[in-house]
Structure 1
Amino acid sequence: MRQITGIALIGVTLLAGCGPSPKSPATAAAAGPAGFEKYCNAPGVPKALRQTVLVIDENEIHANPAPNQIAPENRRWTMWVGSLLGKAGDPKSSVFAPRERLTLLVAPRNGGEPRTVFTGCFPGFSAEEVQVIARNQGGLGSASSDFFGSGPVQTATKDADRFRSLLGAALARLGDPAAQTSPAGGDGGLSTSSLLVSLRQKPLADLTAGIPRIVIYSDLSRLSISQASVPEARKAGFALARKAPLDLKRAEVFVAGVQPSTETDRTKAFLDAFLLGSEGHLRGFGSGDIGLQQAAPQTVRIYSGMIRYGSEDVPMRLRLATTSDGRIVDSWLAVRRDIETATPFEGEIVSDGRNGEIGRNDGKGLGQLWSIDPDPEPEFGPDMAFGGLRGLELHIHPDGVLEGRVMDPMVNMINGNAKPYIEFKLHIDEKSQF
């Protein structure tokens, strides 16, 4: 057992070249980004609790050779985006929850502010909502019947196909030669790349639209990384986050389109640390399946209060998001001392048999996510969140109180305290976004 001392604890057809003709850049700019808002505030059904922000690195976009023709180099990312939307006539085959907002951004190759080219909420209903519709003979109440018409499910299926068409048209316009920006130069290294410079220009998500999932399409293998090892890359990523972080609002982050290279491990290590230091969690990375099929949360609760951190009580916030089958996803703990340090966690939640709930993580991550050298042997120290402790237990009471502990099976004393854990007590915070 160990003691910890000195802890400062803390495929769409259109995407293949068919469909509506692209507007001219001037016309598209005048009209603003394309959109489909019909399902964003639909009556009779709740808003989606998650949003997805899809960012296309403009370095992936090539000029189309002619109107209504997509450059061959663009097919890789247009078809990939199409695969996210699922099959025509089958909204459930997409990676989006019913009515989840999708915002499509382009990160300019000159490092300028990302521009919005499409935003809207994916049409559809959950299985439970479909059952309600069936029981009510095609309506969710008079308001939603008037809104959707006599066949809400059939209408949503047709609207999902229209959503695909509108998004496909927006993607096709990205290859218009007049819409391309010129590179600013100096885009050889990952840490100074136009992509990171662009993403730093503004927040990528607004929490009023749901907790964020950010998906970036960029072949980062084209960028060099100077660090010679994974630990050095992680150290550099954390350092850049302290100096010039992104504003990610505790998002899950997925990076697609990354082709294998001799630098892949170091690139991923740098990005993982940089995103964590920017309050983002790298969940997927590569050229194939990056894990976007994970279910969206069905409940999101925000708690705030204090945690006994070292020898002082300091502010703490917690976001607890859970799926319908009791999995903890998209959840974060944040402790503020001189600065706020936010750490993601996952796990499961079950009833305690007394109208409350018990939540636990898997005991593997938490503080260890901040490790410089993520080898199998855990490390503990004052520069890591919660000193590197890995275990988390939550007891959620029906009156809105949440009591928790952070601990580790390898640690039997913290700062000389006989209790081998850190305790906190929080209260439900229905007015805050986190």
Structure 2
Amino acid sequence: MSNYYVGNKEFYPGIGKIPFEGPKSDNPLAFKFYDPEKVVAGKKMKDHFKFSLAYWHAFMGDGSDPFGSGTIAHPWDTKDPMETAHNKADACFEVATKLGMEYYCFHDRDASPEGASVGDSEKNLAKVVDLLKERQKATGIKLLWNTANAFNHPRYSNGASTNPDFDVLAHAAAQVKAALDANVALGGQNYVFWGGREGYMSLLNTDMKRELSHMAQFLSLSRDYGRKIGFKGNFFIEPKPKEPTTHQYDYDAATVVGFLKANGLDKDFLLNIEANHATLAGHSFAHDLQVAADNGMLGSIDANRGDLFLGWDTDQFPTNVYDAIEAMLVVLRAGGLKGGGFNFDAKLRRNSTDADDIFHAHIGGMDTFALGLTLADKIITDGRLEKFRSDRYASFDSGKGKDFEAGKLSLVDLRDHAASVGETKLTSGKQEYLENLINQVMFGC
């Protein structure tokens, strides 16, 4: 066998194992910054990231968008849905091994076709699970997480766990049950609940309180079943602000944290933060990561980006090093992710139609975050940014400020302190200086 996995057919001939060649390499099919064995901040790069290949965009994306049909032809597509599922599995593990990825993730309907009934769908998925188990054994690649696609089918036009029709909710539960069974069979490390259609288009026809109650009950039942069948990993919720519904119940990290805590789910559920979802919510990627980290719920990351000139989820591969640095500063300060990894929830652009484009895309994304990690560690080690952040809050480290944080002061005490110190002086936030400092660390020789 070659140094990468090939199943019954090699779908990307001519492309071998992607090597690390360093920033001076002019080989477009080589990593410039991602060296999986390099130790940064006490861990190997590959262990910081746990990069994961996403079934749905890498092997389902066809270049279609809201304004046009597909442009990308997949060599594994056939007229037989189960044969296509078999081919996709081989293509997935071929690409993952050539990229040196140790993880993959999937939606149930990406990996296996929906049948004519609940039972048929379960049988299809069980057959594909047997196949995936063989591929995992042959390659050593592991399942980072899986999920149920409870948003594409017309039955979910009004949501899944929040659908006003109980029969539809039950169909979603059947999918989640089968997906959890698949997860345990494959040794999955985590399980994700979708960023789908859990929300509403109009309050005129919506009982929001009841729908949120149903969502909480649905997640509780899913957790209980997962634990019953032996799933010991993390459950993740993926915040999503809009598209397809006008108002998503899982709008952003803060909304999801509040929902989980209000419903007693915060001991079992963490957050899977997607960059493009954060920006669509009006936040930076780093903001939603920080909210999750501050609440001890930073579980996993969907590594992508959006187009700031478009108001929809474009799921582009990440290339912005500044964004990656800010993200990795949060991740490093938090001590890393809780069980998850970096999944490339990203798809090729509509006019990227060559077979090697999928490799260029992933190489760029992996290099971007590797560079972000290296520079974030360099910034933290440099110490100036960390010292500035610490010094800015020094008034809370002693005296009355420390007493306030410890809950020892009343509102009257605060009033009396203000009267005793008189007018305060302005203190600069030094934002421009800090932005310059980042540039100096990034580009300084």
Please report the TM-score for the alignment, with normalisation by the length of structure 2. 0.28
